[in-house]
Amino acid sequence: MSEKLERQTAGAGGLELGIAQLKRLGRLRASGLIWVLLIMCAIAALVSEAFLNPFNIINVLRQIALFGIVSIGMTFVILTAGIDLSVGSIVAVVAVTAAMLLDDGLPIPLVIIAGLLIGALMGAGNGAGITLGGIPPFIMTLGTMVMGRGLAMTISDGHPIHFRGAADQFAWLGQGHLLGLPVPVWVFAAVAALAAGVLRFTPFGRNIYAVGSNPEAARLAGIDVRLTIFLVYLISGFLSGLTALIFISRLTVGEPVAGVGLELEAIAITVIGGTSLFGGEGRISGTILGAAIVAVLANILNLFGVSPFTQQIVKGAIIVAAVLFEIIRRRKYSAP
């Protein structure tokens, strides 16, 4: 018994020290990202007068919010050394289902609750398959991605679902403004603040970092590793559902192809923001900056008329470069 207690104490002490070191590295990377963002904005303002147009700035902020919300969910998942490839399909399922319910005349508050529950349940399905079934996160979420896209197509019969009767009342969530800023920006700010608070000040947040840093040491320290992993996938699904509701509110239509490639955007934003794909390292502030960098980059490329297909090449290259940088940095960090 005493030997086990010693292992738990040593594991917990080493874990806390490692997490503290990773958090300090995260703060340094966040400060570097701020400079990257400022330089990108300065270059964009110099080469294109349209960049500083108020309408363009509002559009960039809206893009940051839309992609940022789902990226916060991805941050929770990647902090545990997991991955969620199903976020785009969850968005599609929630989008067509919510649009169908709105078209049938269901009250808007109930539609919002239903959409969030569907997203959370699909995320919980991922978490259950990974923790109880022992399925690797990549395979589990890949399967959910394929099944979810098929489900969205089945529900909608492959066609967009319009909800014209409730469009005006529901539009405020995606198209409205509050104090001069789009409502999605305020929603993103609230989600980011809550997520940052959870990760920094709650035992659950510390458990996430611990599980991502060293699952075995976390288990020896008394952390329920399975429950922690299950909950991060539930959170990811919930925030994907929220993203879907904002999408359909803005477009007034639920499309079965909604969210195609969204997992790429979310992973790119999360990795660029400094969250390690190896787990245990990352901050919500970094994800916010990552969303801003990706949105500004996409806006610059759009202003210069770069093809969306070419933009995918750029984003893919950024992900590879970010992971390569992380591997090199970890080798230096672990070198004797």
**Tens-digit pLDDT profile for residues 269-288:** 898 888 888 888 888 988 99
Dihedral angle over CA of 137, 142, 143, 146, nearest 10 = 160
Between 74 and 178, the higher pLDDT residue: 74
Q: What is the pLDDT of residue 334?
A: 55
Between 139 and 301, the higher pLDDT residue: 139
28 pLDDT tier (thresholds 50, 70, 90): very low
**Tens-digit pLDDT profile for residues 99-124:** 999 888 888 899 999 999 999 999 99
Whether 79 contacts 271, CB under 8 Å: no
In order of 126, 130, 320, the CA distances from 139 in angstroms are 10, 9, 20
The per-residue DSSP string of 145-211 comes to HHHHHHHHHHHHTTS-EE-HHHHHHHTHHHH-EETTEEHHHHHHHHHHHHHHHHHHHSHHHHHHHHH
Q: What is the pLDDT of residue 52?
A: 82
